[in-house]
Amino acid sequence: MVSGGEWALGAVGGARSWSRRLGWVVADSAVVARRYLAHLVRKPDELVGTLMIPVLAVLLFGFVFGEAMGAAMGLGGDGYRDFLMPGLFALTMAFGIGNTTIAVVSDVGRGVVDRFRTLPMAPSALLVGRSMADVVAALVDLVVLVGMGLLIGWRWHLGVGAALAALGLLLLLRVAFTWVGIWLGLMVRSPESAMKFFSLVFPLAMVAETFVPAEMVPVWVAPVAEWNPLSATVLACRELFGNTAVAGQGWVAQNAVLMALVWPLVLLAVFVPLSVVRYRRLSR
């Protein structure tokens, strides 16, 4: 059935030159990303779902407990809200993991992934495309939250450049968490088991610099709060936005911007290869 000449045709995917391969990875990932973004547009509940918790947190912690928290920390209500917003930005980035995991595990379960795997597309495109879509979704999240912050009196104080750098760090954190989510999605068997897992992770996202400084939590959880990847980003954002900060003594607090770069890069270095290997193993 195959004569010599036809192999050349077959070489479309077979021309394994690096630049060509990379070109296909980008092009195919963009197609996959558009698919996930179309989901977001057609089923906005995912977006609303991720935003619900931080928006409620703004109301709850900003106003219901805000005065008390602010008083306890010696900041006052307005000061506490200024302190709070960067924490909520980062928390929202963390909650994105849930959407990613659920999307990946349901795709694998439904067999859509099977179809993708029989196409002559770049094998990594499904995962890369998902992470691209997540960055776009994260941008939407951030726009809504920044708008909300501005409404309740939160401001950036150190110029647009520093503010954009802070947003960049938040997006970097989201990309890193996305790959954690992708890996989890490839590991768990069903969306239900993923949910169970998240009820364990949920408190972990709270034990960070998000709502109170690490200095104010009990001594035995303080290291967790300090070395939580979320904390570095929260502290770095407070620094770059020029928001109220509670002078931290810890090493992470002293090197927040550096750690806000290191932590996501470490997570990426671990979870990108793990996810790719796991994806390949779907053929076992």
The residue ranges that bind another protein (CB under 8 A) are: 1-3, 6-7, 9-10, 12-14, 24, 27-28, 31-32, 34-35, 38-39, 42-43, 110-112, 114-121, 125, 283-284
| Closest distance to another protein from the beta carbon of 38 (Å) | 6
| Closest distance to another protein from the beta carbon of 274 (Å) | 19
Query: SS3 for the chain, per residue?
Result: CCCHHHHHHHHHHHCCCHHHHHHHHHHHHHHHHHHHHHHHHHCCHHHHHHHHHHHHHHHHHHHHCHHHHHHHHCCHHHHHHHHHHHHHHHHHHHHHHHHHHHHHHHHHHHCHHHHHHHCCCCCCHHHHHHHHHHHHHHHHHHHHHHHHHHHCCCCCCCHHHHHHHHHHHHHHHHHHHHHHHHHHHHHCCCHHHHHHHHHHHHHHHHCCCCCCCHHHCCCCCHHHHHHCHHHHHHHHHHHHHCCCCCCCCCHHHHCHHHHHHHHHHHHHHHHHHHHHHHHHHHHC
Tokens (6 digits) for 177: 């968490």
Q: Which is nearer to another protein, 22 or 38 (CB)?
A: 38
Rounded CA gap, 107 and 94, in Å?
21
| Closest distance to another protein from the beta carbon of 27 (Å) | 8
| Closest distance to another protein from the beta carbon of 125 (Å) | 8
Q: Which is nearer to another protein, 6 or 192 (CB)?
A: 6
Q: Which is nearer to another protein, 26 or 261 (CB)?
A: 26
Q: Which is nearer to another protein, 2 or 247 (CB)?
A: 2
| Closest distance to another protein from the beta carbon of 24 (Å) | 7
| Closest distance to another protein from the beta carbon of 21 (Å) | 11
Q: Which of 181, 131, 149 is nearest to 82 (CA)?
A: 149
| Closest distance to another protein from the beta carbon of 175 (Å) | 23
Q: Which is nearer to another protein, 117 or 278 (CB)?
A: 117
**Cβ distance 229 to 263 under 8 Å?**
yes
Q: Which is nearer to another protein, 28 or 226 (CB)?
A: 28
The angle at the Cα of 195, spanning 181 to 50, to the nearest 5 degrees, equals 65
| Closest distance to another protein from the beta carbon of 34 (Å) | 8
Q: Which is nearer to another protein, 148 or 186 (CB)?
A: 186
Q: Which is nearer to another protein, 28 or 82 (CB)?
A: 28
